């Protein structure tokens, strides 16, 4: 079964500083990995995904993520945090060869990012 771990419930970072939100995964095959952001009382917004190819993936709003197969990680990063980046971030995985269940997204518990002015 596929699973995702986000080890930090909350991350605080000063505005202008780089930010990292951590994610590790477990799947039986090669993973398809996604990051979503959720603002209060809003739906989930897609940020970026890793399917194959370059391990560094660039996404929306200046975010990027690095896929590391040996460490089974897919950490979300941004060089310079904005106050408006404050939100709940979810990492998600799909295992494309697991048969039944391969279309659903399995989410981590989420990490609350607070960017301090």
Partner 1 sequence: AAGVIQSPRHLMKEKRETATLKCYPIPRHDTVYWYQQGPGQDPQFLISFYEKMQSDKGSIPDRFSAQQFSDYHSELNMSSLELGDSALYFCASSLGQSSYNEQFFGPGTRLTVL
Sequence length of the chain is 117
34/93 Cα distance (integer angstroms) = 6
Q: Of 21, 23, 24, 32, which lies in the binding site for partner 1, with binding defined by CB under 8 A?
A: 32
Q: Does 44 bind partner 1 (CB under 8 A)?
A: yes
CB of 21 to partner 1, least distance (A): 14
Contact residue for partner 1 among 25, 36, 63, 67 (CB under 8 A): 36
User: Beta strand 24-26 with 19-21: parallel, antiparallel or unpaired?
Assistant: unpaired
User: Binding-site residue total for partner 1 (CB under 8 A)?
Assistant: 25
Looking at 15-23, 29-37, 64-72, 74-82, which segment touches partner 1 (CB under 8 A)?
29-37
């Amino acid at each position: 079964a596929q699973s995702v771990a986000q080890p930090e419930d909350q991350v605080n970072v000063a505005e202008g500083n780089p930010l990292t939100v951590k994610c590790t995964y477990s799947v039986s095959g090669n993973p398809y990995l996604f990051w979503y952001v959720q603002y209060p009382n809003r739906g989930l917004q897609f940020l970026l995904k890793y399917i194959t190819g370059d391990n560094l993936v660039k996404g929306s709003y200046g975010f990027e993520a690095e896929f590391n197969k040996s460490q089974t990680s897919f950490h979300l990063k941004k060089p310079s945090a904005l106050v408006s980046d404050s939100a709940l971030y979810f990492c998600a995985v799909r295992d494309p060869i697991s048969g039944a269940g391969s279309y659903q997204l399995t989410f981590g518990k989420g990490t609350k990012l607070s960017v301090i002015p």
